[in-house]
Amino acid sequence: MRFSTSGTVRRIDLTLVSTVVNTLRDEWAGLTFGPDGALLNPITGEPFRDLVLADGRHRTPGARYELITRTPVLEADPEKLRVLNAEMLDGKDINADIDWETYAARIGAISVQTGTTESTTSVTLIADDSRHLAFSVADPAGVWSLEVDVVHGKLPRVDVTGRHDATAMIAAEGAPGCLARLFGGIATGTASIDLATLEQRGRTTLAEASGRFNRFRGDGSVDLKTSARAWDVTAGATVRARGLGRPLLWFFGSRVRRAFAEAAADFWDRVPLRMDEIETALRELADLAQSEGGVDRVVHHTLWEDGYADRVMPTPA
């Protein structure tokens, strides 16, 4: 099964983006950690315990960091949820007739926090030098893992290799072992995005990806033709199947193609507005950097000073 789409994107100046990326590299290099491993806020000196240096020395290969994520547990009012579902879901085609963004917003409006869940993600440094920053990321249960390699440049190239154990994930939800084996499997994939191609004239490849899961495999790419005024974008992907996956691909093929075509059309319709928004945001950041004393100061205080961004950023109309 083959998918493809193409369109033209108005080119914008990415010089400020490059400056921000390199400033973030400097912020990473300058991090300090307390005796207990907790990250120290460079402005206040207070520990930030959501990022901990668990083993090794900062920026040294083999150093292991723990990133702690706290997520609120929300519960919707049952009666209000029933009314909302009757209004927005009952009798409608879930693929075409439902505004999921509005639905999610209204769910949030009728929900209250009942608790907090905490998860710890382990990050292990592979390399950190003038050429690249490489690290691996894994969840505690071993269900998924990633290896990320960020190759430095005016704009970076990012290479990602991932693995996901769907069998373990399904089994962890309490499903019988036979179902976990039938619908599970190991998903693997690689992806690469080279942002430097956005600044290179002529034909280049912005992104490539490939992967496989159970009876399916796929690959795709995003190619550019860059001129002074525009990026001409061509994207394509191919999905293949074997064994029992073939009739499934045949059965759902028309629906998947239709969903892809609708999503692609919606994407290209939104592109001009999105580019206007990005260009406006970059212009506002440039003005802010000029008034605040430089991009490095804006980035530093946005990261580490509570309320700084709210205080200095323009208020949306």
Single pTM value for the model: 0.81
Phi/psi of residue 45, each to 5°? Answer: 80, 0
Q: What is the pLDDT along the chain (317 residues), one digit of tens a residue?
A: 999 999 999 999 999 999 999 999 999 999 999 999 999 999 999 999 999 999 999 999 999 999 998 888 989 989 999 999 888 887 776 656 778 888 889 998 999 999 988 889 999 999 999 999 999 999 877 789 999 999 999 999 999 999 988 777 776 666 565 555 556 678 899 999 999 999 999 999 999 999 998 888 999 999 999 999 999 999 999 999 888 788 888 888 888 899 999 999 999 999 999 999 999 999 999 999 999 999 999 999 999 999 998 888 766 55
Q: Distances in Å between the alpha carbon of 309 and those of 28, 79, 93, 306? A: 19, 38, 41, 8
Biggest alpha carbon–alpha carbon distance for the chain? 63
Per the structure, the count of domains in the chain is: 1
Residues 6+ apart with CB under 8 A from 292: 298, 301, 312
The answer to whether residue 95 is domain-embedded is no
The answer to whether residue 246 is domain-embedded is yes
The token pair at 2 is 């083959």
Is the C-alpha dihedral spanning 159, 165, 169, 172 positive or negative? negative
The answer to whether residue 109 is domain-embedded is no
Question: Residue 179's domain spans which residues?
Answer: 1-30+130-258
The answer to whether residue 280 is domain-embedded is no
The token pair at 57 is 């020395």
The answer to whether residue 263 is domain-embedded is no
Query: How far is Cα 122 from Cα 141, in angstroms, rounded to an integer?
Result: 11
The answer to whether residue 12 is domain-embedded is yes
The answer to whether residue 240 is domain-embedded is yes
Q: In the block, which residue shows the tokens 């912005």?
A: 206
Query: How far is Cα 65 from Cα 122, in angstroms, rounded to an integer?
Result: 6
CA angle 304, 160, 30 (to 5 degrees): 25
The answer to whether residue 306 is domain-embedded is no
